[in-house]
Amino acid sequence: MKNIKKVIIVVGPTSVGKTDLSLTLAERINGEIVSADSRQIYRGMNIGTDKPSEEIRKKIKHHMIDIVNPDEYYSAGRFSREARKIIDEVISEGKYPIVVGGSGLYIRALTDGIFPEVKKDYNIKNKLREKVKKNGIEDLYNYLKKIDSETASRLSPKDAQRIVRAVEVFEVTGRPLSEFLNLECTPIMHEFLFIGLNRKRSELYDRIEKRVDMMMERGFVDEVTKLRNMGYHRNLDSMRAVGYREIYMYLDNEIVLDDVIRLIKQKSRNYAKRQITWFNKDKRINWFNLSNNKNIVDSVIKIIK
């Protein structure tokens, strides 16, 4: 059996070209893909998450896609446990595991381990969400700065989901989230090869906008309508994925479709910027600029070998 020594991790911002590279790489080196996308885990959320087609997934085996329903809770810790098991199985079959995704927290949980998860308290969470609705996110963010300045400094002042979670952790445990993040974690016992993809910012933004237009042409509104009719409401964590909440606003007659498309493009660009900031902090990543070199597969293979 072939001695597989490396786990390949392909990261980068949304729309940069991670999928195309990983598929070509998997064909060339006999690999299987382990998705590290925190939204592709949900069944029925296909167009808005740019999920690989059934045809592609028959050709190249994919893992960690379509594993839970949109109303099921899923965490980075659970991802770490389940993905590690899959990676071991792929390696045991003499194949290369290729982890692909833009969820920085999932990647970190997988490679570095993650602190024991603090259980959610939905009574506290709902009270905090009501405060945000009543007073806006700024008040809660200012409170977070007082109780956990380290976590506050890492978050956008407008990131309501993560601000609420950080305050919830403090309210439940009496300890700041940053304290848990700094706990010693158990890393995975494999060698990693980090491949980071980027492009010129103008080119990346153009690709993002074209992807959004394509999503709309493929029936994104119909997809969200179906999810809505199945009873999945807009406040679910899964529906915080860029695009879904905006389509819900359109379906609820709160916004016109042209503004929906504009918002999705804007929020996708903002998400890409946050991803770039996150991954730029990881010094293990070997970066490749696809604007300067369209065909980097041979270069990546040389590093793997």
189-217 pLDDT per residue, tens = 788 999 999 999 999 999 999 999 999 99
8 Å CB contact between 62 and 32: yes
User: Could you list the residue range(s) of the whole structural domain that residue 138 is in?
Assistant: 122-181
Instruction: Read off the CATH number of the domain in which 47 is found.
Output: 3.40.50.300
Residue range 9-25: mean pLDDT, rounded: 96
- State the SS3 of 197-249: EECCHHHHHHHHHHHHHHHHHHCHHHHHHHHHHCCCCCCCHHHHCCCHHHHHH
Predicted confidence at residue 302, as pLDDT, reads 86
Question: What global pTM score does this model have?
Answer: 0.80
Residue range 177-190: mean pLDDT, rounded: 68
Q: For residues 189 and 177, state if they share a domain.
A: no
**Which of 181, 199, 227 marks a domain boundary?**
181
Q: What percent of the chain has pLDDT over 90?
A: 71
Burial of 255 (0-12, 13-18, 19+ CB in 10 A): middle
Q: For residues 230 and 253, state if they share a domain.
A: yes
Q: For residues 262 and 293, state if they share a domain.
A: yes
Q: How far is the C-alpha of 98 from the C-alpha of 100, rounded, in Å?
A: 6
171 part of a folded domain: yes
* pLDDT reading at 297 higher than 60: yes
**Which of 181, 205, 232 marks a domain boundary?**
181
Q: For residues 127 and 246, state if they share a domain.
A: no
Q: How far is the C-alpha of 287 from the C-alpha of 59, rounded, in Å?
A: 27
DSSP state of 293: -
137-167 pLDDT per residue, tens = 999 999 999 999 988 987 888 888 889 999 9
Residue with the larger pLDDT of the pair 7 and 122: 7
If one counts the domains in the chain, the total is: 2
Q: For residues 177 and 189, state if they share a domain.
A: no
Q: How confident is the model at residue 1 (pLDDT cuts 50, 70, 90)?
A: very low
